[in-house]
């Protein structure tokens, strides 16, 4: 940090990122040089085949060339390891060393071509060991050259050539940030970044139809992604360092912080809810939420028997028996739902696996055990679902009887509207309640399905006042404060551990970026040491490293920009202004969004790190949305989001009973956020 400037452009790699890649190549080159030297020493004076002179010359020049490459790599690794992340001064010679190393690729390429020619034309009559060694050298040369080319593509920054040259001292000292020239430069850079991200999305989703809805989604997502780190000069390794430092900082604060007060009952009522009954209902509904994923999740959850159980049901003639099922040509999805839920075919009213952007699969069934008409909505399982997830703009969602501003996540609001129209306009719910008029309506889903289920419940609330919704691991950036408060009467959000998704919102991500910048700017150790120690900590645990914390430096120092002079947005960044104090507002064009309903938080009871064979004990408690206003960095932040992990925790709490219904004050890790 900042991104390295070489060959007249900025690259997505910093001058201190060459330690690991250079060390790996150095290790390979040294082994190669030793092997070549051994071959030359053993066969010296014995090159008596027809191409012996050529072979002798090839090995000598290869040894000399490898020696120069090894020396250049040693210099690169040594210099790249100097200084700190925000002090690139000791590494100012890195671009020159990179130029020298790049120049050595030319003779290496030529010599690899000559070696290939010798092997094909002049190697007849030579010893097989000599020929094999040269072939290995030639193959190694081409592998390293191709690997270097691939690496260059990875660190290539399409926006690097757009960066202006270093400003003069006068410009750095007094620069009018509000001038038309500066505004035009900023606008141009952002528009270019948006186009670059749109192109990347189109390339990634090339298999999807390029219709108007997809193009609009690409544009919206590109604007969201391109603007997030546009005011920083962070490279990916800087972000990794910031996350590693932040994780250890959070763990240190969690160990020394006094237990926070937890909610002993549902925040929607002064009377304590029966937590055990809610857990029983949640565990039951989670079976339907996980069944909505179809056969991939069923096989994943049952790796030994899942495929065998479904093999007899898939690909058979469906005829009129499965006329309620749409979008499931082979019948595998519906068969897995039957196995997962234990229901019969006659219990299903409607099943749809139709999947487009803003249109996600769902099914409607009669749950006789709980006397409910149950609507289960699938979570993210395709590129189209991912586009729906990433369409995170705010969209108005007016609801009668709700005071305050009503808006929600655009992608999930559109998906909820699609299912709402299908349920009412196609008479699906009318058919279900004609069969079972005394049943109540229950809506459930996981992740994308959980967010969509919550918004669908809000839309249906006026028509079905007694409906209930169980949203598992819903996204944090889902609905406005007014809608979140309104939904507390009928929506329960279930969150496991340090799940990342319920903490995902644009303000939270802006806050995470600001804290990453703080951690990186405060650290006075080389990047490679932080990454090595961070990896060790993530894999094997131990005590958090005693790195400088964000309180170890004066606040006025934190108000200084973190970027080099070459960066586009060296001044005027909202992120840097926000470093001035903890009370500074987070500058964000997106409106704040919240988790739906009441929040039932499940955490592991006991130490955060445990043996792989130890029994897991869980604790459940009602929590507040304030506990999810910061992203918690943890190895389990993704694993805790998986539907099978949520189902396993609920089953453990409702069947095995190794959990606390009345949480103690010893382990409130979900509230211990920085």
Identify the active-site residue in 15, 266, 336, 447.
Answer: 447
Distance CA 667, CA 618 (A): 11
Inter-residue contact 288 to 341 (CB < 8 Å): yes
Element (H, E) at 155: helix 128-155
How far apart (Å, rounded) are the C-alpha atoms in residues 248 and 230?
26
* Distance between CA atoms of residues 105 and 142, nearest Å: 11
Chain mean position to CA 443: 27
Over 51-70, what HEC string results? CHHHHHHHHHHHHHHHHHHH
What residues are paired with 409 via a beta bridge? 394
Measure the CA–CA gap between 541 and 533, rounded to whole angstroms: 10
What is the signed CA dihedral for 239, 241, 242, 246, rounded to 10 degrees?
Answer: 140
Tell me how crowded residue 489 is: count the other CB atoms within 10 A of its CB: 13
The span from the CA of 124 to the CA of 127, in Å, is: 9
For residue 457, which of 478, 435, 436, 431 has the smallest C-alpha distance? Answer: 478
CB 241 within 8 A of CB 527: yes
Residues 6+ apart with CB under 8 A from 362: 292, 352, 375, 376, 377, 378, 419, 445, 449
Q: Which residues contact 604 (CB under 8 A, 6 or more apart)?
A: 497, 610, 616, 617, 618, 619
Can you tell me which residue has the tokens 């609507």?
Answer: 375
Closest CA to 375 of 471, 311, 308, 303: 471
Tell me the C-alpha to C-alpha distance, in Å, between residue 556 and each of 88, 549, 551.
21, 15, 12
> Any catalytic annotation for residue 447?
yes
How is residue 645 written in tokens? 């992990």
Q: Which phi and psi angles does 149 have, rounded to 5°?
A: -60, -40
Q: How far apart are CA 338 and CA 348, in angstroms?
A: 10
Candidates 231, 233, 499, 640; catalytic one: 499
Q: Which two tokens stand for residue 306?
A: 């899942």
Distance CA(489)–CA(262), nearest Å, equals 20
623: which 2 tokens? 């929590």
What is each CA distance from 316 to 310, 311, 319, 331, in whole angstroms? 11, 10, 9, 8
Q: Is 489 a catalytic residue?
A: no
List 375's β-bridge partners, or say none: 364, 443
Residue 384 main-chain phi, psi, to 5 deg: -65, -40
Put residue 622 in one of left, alpha, beta given phi > 0 → left and psi -120 to 50 → alpha. Answer: beta
Q: Just list the catalytic residues.
A: 447, 499
């Amino acid at each position: 940090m900042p991104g390295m400037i070489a060959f007249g452009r900025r690259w997505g790699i910093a001058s201190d990122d060459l330690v690991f890649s250079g060390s790996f190549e150095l290790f390979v080159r040294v082994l190669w040089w030793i092997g070549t030297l051994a071959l030359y020493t053993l066969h010296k004076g014995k090159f008596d085949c027809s191409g012996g002179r050529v072979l002798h010359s090839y090995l000598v020049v290869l040894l000399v060339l490898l020696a120069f490459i090894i020396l250049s790599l040693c210099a690169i690794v040594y210099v790249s390891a100097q200084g700190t992340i925000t002090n690139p001064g000791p590494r100012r010679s890195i671009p020159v060393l990179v130029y020298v190393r790049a120049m050595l690729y030319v003779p290496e390429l030529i010599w690899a071509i000559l070696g290939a020619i010798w092997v094909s034309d002049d190697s007849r009559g030579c010893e097989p060991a000599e020929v094999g060694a040269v072939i290995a050298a030639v193959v190694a040369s081409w592998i390293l050259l191709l690997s270097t080319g691939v690496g260059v593509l990875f660190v290539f920054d399409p926006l690097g050539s757009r960066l202006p040259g270093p400003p003069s001292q006068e410009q750095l000292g007094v620069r009018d940030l509000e001038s038309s020239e500066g505004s035009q430069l900023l606008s141009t850079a952002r528009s270019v970044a948006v186009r670059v991200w749109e192109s990347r999305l189109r390339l990634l989703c090339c298999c999807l139809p390029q219709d108007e809805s997809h193009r609009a989604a690409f544009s919206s997502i590109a604007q969201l992604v391109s603007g997030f780190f546009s005011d920083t000069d962070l490279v990916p390794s800087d972000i990794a360092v910031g996350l590693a430092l932040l994780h250890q900082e959070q763990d240190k604060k969690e160990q020394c912080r006094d237990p926070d007060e937890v909610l002993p009952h549902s925040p929607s009522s002064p009377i304590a809810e029966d937590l055990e009954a809610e857990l029983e209902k949640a565990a039951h509904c989670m079976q339907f939420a996980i069944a909505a994923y179809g056969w991939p999740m069923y096989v994943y959850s049952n790796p030994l028997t899942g495929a065998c159980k479904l093999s007899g049901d898939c690909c058979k003639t469906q005829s009129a028996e499965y006329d309620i099922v749409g979008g499931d040509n082979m019948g595998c999805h519906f068969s897995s739902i039957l196995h997962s839920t234990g229901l019969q075919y006659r219990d299903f009213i409607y099943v749809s696996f139709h999947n487009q952007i803003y249109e996600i699969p769902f099914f409607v069934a009669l749950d006789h055990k709980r006397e409910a008409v149950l609507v289960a909505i699938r979570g993210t399982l395709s590129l189209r679902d991912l586009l729906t997830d990433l369409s995170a703009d705010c969209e108005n969602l007016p609801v009668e009887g709700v005071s305050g501003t009503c808006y929600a996540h655009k992608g999930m609001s559109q998906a909820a509207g699609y299912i709402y129209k299908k349920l009412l306009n196609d008479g699906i719910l009318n058919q279900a309640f004609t069969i079972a008029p005394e049943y109540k309506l229950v809506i459930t889903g996981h992740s994308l399905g959980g967010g969509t289920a919550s918004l669908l419940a809000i839309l249906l609330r006026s028509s079905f006042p007694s409906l209930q919704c169980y949203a598992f691991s819903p996204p944090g950036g889902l609905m406005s404060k007014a809608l979140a408060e309104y939904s507390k009467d009928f929506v329960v959000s279930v969150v496991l551990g340090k799940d990342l998704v319920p903490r995902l919102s644009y303000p939270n991500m802006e806050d995470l970026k600001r804290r990453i910048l703080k951690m990186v700017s405060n650290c006075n150790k080389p990047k490679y040491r932080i990454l090595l120690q961070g990896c060790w900590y993530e894999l094997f645990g131990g005590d958090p490293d005693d790195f400088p914390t964000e309180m170890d430096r004066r606040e006025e120092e934190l108000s200084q920009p973190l970027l080099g002079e070459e960066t586009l947005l060296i001044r005027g960044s909202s992120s840097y202004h926000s470093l001035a104090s903890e009370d500074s507002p987070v500058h964000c064009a997106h409106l704040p969004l919240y988790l739906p309903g009441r929040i039932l938080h499940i955490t592991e009871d006991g130490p955060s790190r445990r043996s792989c064979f130890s029994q897991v004990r869980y604790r459940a408690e009602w929590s507040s949305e304030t506990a999810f206003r910061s992203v918690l960095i943890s190895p389990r932040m993704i694993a805790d989001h998986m539907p099978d992990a949520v189902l396993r925790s609920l089953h453990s709490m409702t069947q095995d009973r190794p959990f606390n219904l009345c949480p103690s004050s010893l382990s409130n890790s979900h509230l211990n956020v920085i």
